[in-house]
Amino acid sequence: MPRTKGDHEARRRDVSEAVWRVLAAHGFGGLTLRAVAAELGATTGLLTHYFPAKRDLVAYALDLLDRRSASRPRRAGGEGLSAVRAAMLDVLPLTAEATDSNRIWVSSWDTALTDPALSDDYARKYAQSRDKLRDLIAAAQQLGELPAGDPARIAAGAQSFLLGLVVQALFAPEAFPPHRQTELLDDYLASLGSPSSSSSPSSSVG
Amino acid sequence: MPRTKGDHEARRRDVSEAVWRVLAAHGFGGLTLRAVAAELGATTGLLTHYFPAKRDLVAYALDLLDRRSASRPRRAGGEGLSAVRAAMLDVLPLTAEATDSNRIWVSSWDTALTDPALSDDYARKYAQSRDKLRDLIAAAQQLGELPAGDPARIAAGAQSFLLGLVVQALFAPEAFPPHRQTELLDDYLASLGSPSSSSSPSSSVG
DNA sequence: ACATAACCGTAACGCTTGTTATGCGAATGG
DNA sequence: CCATTCGCATAACAAGCGTTACGGTTATGT
């Protein structure tokens, strides 16, 4: 029973939703042609028409993850340290959608870490993310809201904190409810508002 | 060609090594009976003898990951803040073995996040890890090396930072060499050595 | 020494996976 | 209005998966 209208765009949107639901339910390792087809109420024949090979589906899913994450409603940033805080809050799994996004994101690491090409892609993406954070931090420094110090270095630390908090919150949502995550983030930002960091090459590395 | 000596222990060690190599090479999603058997120079018949079902293999692999991580040579802790630093350095992918361990660890999250039982297991494990860190932090506070504040809360932040740094270092080893990781950790520890954190319930959560 | 159990290779089973071939109704355009 | 292309279902394929049955060799206990 083919659809009577050749609405290509609408169909692609349906495919996106089906892929997303499969990813949210079974992770990246459970992304299968038949699972997506079933979620779509269709067969594998439809999917092979849209994606010549499985890797194309995977690539599409990764791109979908990017777009869904990027198009999530951002909160008003303000400027300086407030913008840094807003940008970091936007990443955390504080809502159901953000939780899905992050869960899928983390689950994709298994695939990414064993594929050198994907791994490089991710490295670039995170570097870009750090650069964005670095600029916000540099701006906050010029406003005097953060002490001096290499902004790139501070950004690397901040993203580490952010990433790890995401992972912990995903595994223990009841131990890391939105309020707790915000609390911890504010603790971290407060700890940045002091001197004593960077410079002075300490040795004794194992 | 069965082995002439019934050296059960030695055989189990061989199995461990084979499982480990498969995990390091293809991640947790690539853990397959035939892959392990091939790495072992044996057949699936051997493995079904040791593991009645696949989930037993997976459970064994998870346990192996635990034991391999726990039995990694720990550096001399010292006491107070120095012990905190040592414990955190022990987790970071500063050596080839620690990198393998961490890579496998991260790759297991895909499996864990879609399995509620495993997810709970991980949540408990990380909570336990946080508690250990909390005790070290509390000790450092009593030595006056860290300012006052809820040690559990500080530990949660510290483990977030640690976890995220691991992930970033895995994806971009060249951007996060051992020296850089140590540097960033020391930055973080230095930022803890100041007041102004914790307490005062800030609201406005999205 | 002989029965029994442990060990493990061989081989097949059923299932799921990605992929491909085929066909048919709906859209399209000259 | 008819030929052609598009969109998709149907169905089969080989390969890989976990699992099982079976047989032969080696150790073990009496």
Give A16-81 as a DSSP string: HHHHHHHHHHHTGGG--HHHHHHHHTS-HHHHHHH-SSHHHHHHHHHHHHHHHHHTSPPPP--STH
Binding-face residues of B in 20-79 toward A, CB within 8 A: 25-30, 75
Beta-carbon count within 10 A of A5 CB: 8
pLDDT tens-digit series, residues B87-143: 999 999 999 999 999 999 999 999 999 989 899 999 999 999 999 999 999 999 999
Beta-carbon count within 10 A of B116 CB: 9
Cα separation, A96 vs A104, whole angstroms: 12
Instruction: Judge contact between B59 and B14, C-beta under 8 A.
Output: no
Helix residue ranges, H only, A81-177: 81-91, 96-114, 116-142, 151-171
Q: What is the pLDDT of residue A195?
A: 64
Provide the positions of strand D that have an atom within 7 A of a protein CB: 6-12, 16-22, 24-28
Structure tokens at B168: 């970033």
Instruction: Judge contact between B139 and B79, C-beta under 8 A.
Output: yes
Structure tokens at B140: 């450092």
| The pLDDT of residue B197 is above 90 | no
Q: What is the pLDDT of residue A56?
A: 94
Cα separation, B104 vs B111, whole angstroms: 11
Q: What is the pLDDT of residue A202?
A: 41
pLDDT tens-digit series, residues B57-76: 999 999 999 999 988 899 88
Distance of C1' in C8 from CA in B56, Å: 19
pLDDT tens-digit series, residues B14-34: 999 999 999 999 999 999 999
Alpha-carbon separation of residue B175 from A88, A124, A180, B118, B169 (angstroms): 22, 11, 31, 32, 7
How many A-B residue pairs are in contact by the CB < 8 A criterion?
185
Cα separation, B42 vs A205, whole angstroms: 41
Tell me which of B159, B161, B196 to substitute to probe the interface with A (most A C-beta atoms closer than 10 Å).
B161
The mean pLDDT of chain A is 90
Write down the pTM of the prediction: 0.90
Average pLDDT over residues A22-32: 95
Residues of A in contact with B170 (CB under 8 A): 113
Report the footprint of strand D: residues with C-beta closer than 7 angstroms. A 1-3, 6, 8, 11, 37, 42-46, 49-50; B 2, 4-6, 31-35, 44-45, 48, 52-55
Across the interface, do A187 and B179 touch by the CB < 8 Å criterion? no
Nearest-nucleotide field for B47 (CA, C1'): C8
Contacts by B125-132, CB closer than 8 A, 24 or more apart: B126/A168, B126/A171, B126/A172, B126/B159, B127/A172, B127/A175, B129/B159, B130/B155, B130/B156, B130/B159, B131/B155, B132/B87
Confidence band, pLDDT 50/70/90 cuts, at residue B165: very high
Confidence band, pLDDT 50/70/90 cuts, at residue B195: low
Confidence band, pLDDT 50/70/90 cuts, at residue B8: confident
Cα separation, A52 vs B39, whole angstroms: 33
Q: Could you tell me which residue, A71 or B178, shows the higher pLDDT?
A: B178
Cα separation, A112 vs A62, whole angstroms: 10
